[in-house]
Amino acid sequence: MANEITVELNDEQFKRYQIMQENGLSIGEAIDLIFYLRDHYGVRNDQLLEERLEQLIIKKAKLEEEMKNTDNDLTAEMDVLDKLKDTAYDFEAKEKILEKEYSPLDDSYEMKVQAHKRGIKWGKFFNALR
């Protein structure tokens, strides 16, 4: 059983109606297609939003972990500063604290080069050129 509807179309809508007729698409098929697309892509949009939400939750957890690590580093720095404040005017004790906390475990490349330069016997070098 087919139902009939009378509609008023503006010029743009009428042009689109003519294109539909040229392509063999009826109004009923167009309505079915609209609802199918709405249902299909509405579900897909929900899935995309859920996936994006999961990504953001993971990113939030990583950032919270970084903040925790930064807080731990800051706490360690504050402990050093507290030790320095506690030593009052004892500069030797402060120097030892700073050396202990901030001395590099291994010499850097630059430090090794400087040490090597200091170890060169320049007198022997210039005598060898004569």
Report the alpha-carbon distance of residue 96 to residue 91 in Å, rounded.
9
Evaluate whether 17 touches 30 at the Cβ level (below 8 Å). no
- The distance of Cα 72 from the centroid of its chain, to the nearest Å, equals 21
> Would you say 87 and 94 are in contact if contact means Cβ atoms under 8 Å apart?
yes
User: Which tokens is 4 given?
Assistant: 């009939």
Whether the predicted model's global pTM rises above the 0.85 cut: no
pLDDT of residue 10: 92
Q: What is the pLDDT of residue 58?
A: 93
Q: Residue-wise over 113-128: b if at least 16 C-beta within 10 A, else e? A: eeeeeeeeeeeeeeee
C-alpha distance across the termini of the chain, in Å: 117
Write the single-letter amino acid at 15: K
Going residue by residue through the chain (130 aa), what tens digit of pLDDT does each one get?
A: 567 878 888 999 999 989 999 999 888 888 888 888 888 777 777 788 888 899 999 999 999 999 988 888 888 788 877 777 776 667 777 777 777 777 665 667 777 778 777 777 777 767 776 6
